[in-house]
Structures are given as structure tokens and as C-alpha cells.
Amino acid sequence: MAIQITQKSGEGLSRVYGVTVPIKDLLDKLEAKIVEIRPQMNIKGFRPGKVPAAHVKRMYGKSLMSEIVQQTLNDGQQQALDEAKVRVATSPDLQLAGDIEQVLDGKADLTFDLAVQVMPEFDPVDIATLELKRPVHEVGDDEVDEQLKTIAEQNRTYEKKAGGKKAKADDGDMVVADFIGRIDGEAFEGGSAEAAEIVIGSGRFIPGFEEQLKGAKPDATVTVKVNFPEDYGSSELAGKAAEFEVTVKELRAPKDETAIDEEFAKRIGFDTVEALKEAIRNQIGQQYQVASRFKAKRALLDVLDEKHDFELPPGMVESEFGAIWGQVEQERAAGELSDEDKDKTEEQLRSEYRKIAERRVRLGLVLAEIGQRNNVQVSEQEMQQALINEVRRYPREHQQQAFEFFRANPQASAQLRAPIYEEKVVDLILEKAKVEDVPVSKEELFKEDELPEGYGE
């Protein structure tokens, strides 16, 4: 399709392009469309498939031209922007120009304006010149021994408690029981179990549950009343009062302290105690690496924000601010604003969160530009794994529907791709920058530092 494009105005990152599609091109498409549909047409007074082209055009030309114009507008936008060689930041705003009736009658060129915001042109910092400090902490033998002891306690063996029917459950005992939980008299999903092993004092059940089993005897039925924590994983249960009917089937007392020896290591799947210790050391080390990278990334984002200052596409900032402000309003309506924000006026909050939006947009553009210049790619395999992980968050009966939605929706797929791409760019920068590892204590590594402005979640 031949089109003509001219820039009509440009201020900052805003552009308006005028686009013209010659009427000859549209009429050629109309003729081709008539040729395509004639063999299938069946009109009274004409043999099937023998309707003259002129008659088809007289009867259906305007409606066919309307379809052609709509398709041309859809396809012509991207073609025009490609020919103008611009990278758009937001979706184009299309406005028809001229008399559309004249176009549909085949008497005038199709003309329209495209108002767009373009990506800023800037040179990102040379990542090889960046200097960063990364806090690190080595796993100590004492930490491994402490974790090993905890594992031994968790794998402690139990035996039937002496005393028969007169025995009473006490701290450290295991109560084997059936239970069913109810809220407002109605049983709820996930609130029932059979032959559950409940160790009093382990803290593995809802706060207050285990303590109310102290003194229980075999074959007794105990009513346990608890409140689910406000931050409980299920929003349907969080903060709710529940009542559990617990039927004690057996009481078991802990055996002597578990010996950490080769037999114990084999019982939990390791050939030797040393192999078990090495696995523990690696597991703890991975946790430290995650925390270390998190702080290094935070420091990196601060440096990137400090070293870049360029005009931002207003539409991108507005979109980011809208998403942030929507969350703020939800928190305010629910009375969940942070202590820091509670006493601020709406004007103050809007001003501060707009700065956060600007920072996020600026950092997103910087990371994208660095990634593009270094040919960072997200592989199909990485996208497939991200899709699988996302789908698994849905109930099993909805997983296939969710899978099909993400596969068919490019925008949804882009939301899965974005964090993968960002992490790969961050890894690239940390690899090429001058990064100094600074030993710190475990407490310092996990200390919740004050977040830099705009970092957020």
C-alpha cells in the first residue's frame, strides 16, 4: 500500500503526522474484493456467480469500501510510523481528516492524522564504568550446625505415650487427631484433616491451636477456638474466627534427642553427615546470594537513576502513575496506608507518587536501551517456563483457560516477559560493571534498609 506521510507538528516528544492513502489504491482494493466475492454471490435475476461487477459495485460498493477503509486505517498506522522511522511510546491517536463520505464514494483520498508520543533519544551510561558495592556474607560452620540441629528436631521420632487412656498431652508431645474446622457454623475448604500429627509447641498450626490441646486425652473430643491471622495466606480466611472439632486418636511422646550420625543422614536421604552439611551450606548460601543480589540491584538502580536525565513520554508517566495511584486509593479506602503516608495531604501524596512513576519510567527506558544495545534476548524456553509458573498460580480447573489466555494475548505475554528481560539486563550490568564485594554480617545483609525514592515493590 502506497502512503504519503508528513510531519505536521512536533514539540518535545509529541508528534503529529499527516497520512494520505491515494484513492486509486482504495479503488484497486475494491475491484479486487469484487472479483473475489462475485463467484459466491447469488442475486435474484442473475445466474449464480454471474452477477456483473458493475451491479455488485452499485449495490455493495459503499459497504465494501467501508470495510477496506477500516482495514487500511488499522494497517496504515504501523506502516506510516515505520516509514517515519519513529519508536512510539504510547498508542497512536488517530483522527480522520477530510470528508469520509467522499472517500467511501471513491472520490477523495483517505487522509488521517496520527498523534503520537515518541521514545526519547539518549545515550545510556557506559556500564563498564559503573562502580558498585555488593554486600556478601559467607556461610559459617555455626550456622550449618544450627540448621542441622533444627532438622534433627523436625525429624524427631515419637513413641506411644505411656499412661494409656489416662495420659495427657503436654508440650512437645505429638497429638494424632482428626479435625474439622467451621466458620459461622459452616465447614470451610482446607479446614479438615484425618490422622493429623500435631506437635504441641511447634508453631506449625494457627496461633493458639496447639496450646488448646494441652491436657487432652486419647479418644477425647476438644473444641479449639482460634482467629486466623490478618495476614493469613487465604484472603477468605484472614482475620476470621474459626472453631475446630478435634478428635484425639493417639498421644505420642518424643524419644530421646535425635543423634546426628550416619544413620540419621541416610534416613533423610543423604549418604553421610558431611553430604547433609554440604546441602545445608548450599541452601543457606543461596538465600544469602538472593539477598546480596537484591541489595546490589537496588544500588544499581540508584546509580542509573542518578546518571540519566532526559525527557519522559508523558503518556508513559501518566499510565504508570495511574497504576500506582489506584493502589494508593485502595489502601487508603481499606485504612492500610503506611504510617509515613497517613498524615499527608492528597496533594503531597500525588506529588511524591508522581516522582515514583517518573523514576520507574526512566529506569525502565534505561534498562531497555542498555538491553537493546547489548542484544539481550528472552528465549522461547524462558517464556514457556514463565507461562507455566504463572498458570500454576491458578486453581487447577482454571489452568487450561489461563494458559490459552496468555498464549492468545500479546499484552499479557509481554507482562510475563518484562521482569525476565529486566533481570537479564541487571545481570549483564552487574557482570560488566566494577562490583566490589563487601563482607557484612548476616544481620546487615538482611537488614531492611530504607528504600530509595521510587524503588517500591
Give yes or no for a contact between 229 and 251, defined as CB atoms under 8 angstroms apart: no
**Residue 113 and residue 232 in one domain:** no
**Residue 252 and residue 175 in one domain:** yes
Give yes or no for a contact between 207 and 225, defined as CB atoms under 8 angstroms apart: no
**Residue 269 and residue 246 in one domain:** no
Give yes or no for a contact between 276 and 268, defined as CB atoms under 8 angstroms apart: yes
| Alpha-carbon gap, residue 330 to 155, rounded angstroms | 44
* Tens-place pLDDT, residues 183-201: 999 999 889 999 999 999 8
The answer to the question of residue 201 being in a domain is yes
**Residue 206 and residue 329 in one domain:** no
**Residue 312 and residue 431 in one domain:** yes
The answer to the question of residue 408 being in a domain is yes
CATH of residue 192's domain is: 3.10.50.40
CATH of residue 425's domain is: 1.10.3120.10
| Alpha-carbon gap, residue 39 to 42, rounded angstroms | 8
The answer to the question of residue 240 being in a domain is yes
In 3D space, the residue among 172, 171, 173, 170 whose CA is nearest the CA of residue 160 turns out to be 173
The answer to the question of residue 111 being in a domain is yes
| Alpha-carbon gap, residue 117 to 363, rounded angstroms | 18
**Residue 25 and residue 69 in one domain:** yes
**Residue 175 and residue 324 in one domain:** no
DSSP state of 88: B
Last-in-domain residue among 221, 256, 291: 256
Residues of the chain where predicted confidence (pLDDT) is lower than 50: 452-457
Give yes or no for a contact between 39 and 51, defined as CB atoms under 8 angstroms apart: no
**Residue 289 and residue 433 in one domain:** yes
The answer to the question of residue 373 being in a domain is yes
Q: Tell me the CA end-to-end span of the chain in Å, nearest whole number.
A: 46
**Residue 249 and residue 300 in one domain:** no
**Residue 45 and residue 98 in one domain:** yes
| Alpha-carbon gap, residue 125 to 307, rounded angstroms | 7
C-alpha cell belonging to residue 116: 503520537
Strand 14-21, strand 131-136: pairing: unpaired
Please give the tally of structural domains in the chain: 3
Task: Annotate 389-408 with b (16+ C-beta within 10 A) or e (fewer).
Answer: ebbeeeeeeeeeebeeebee
In 3D space, the residue among 65, 76, 87 whose CA is nearest the CA of residue 114 turns out to be 76
**Residue 217 and residue 87 in one domain:** no
pTM for this entry = 0.71
Q: Which domain holds residue 64?
A: 4-117
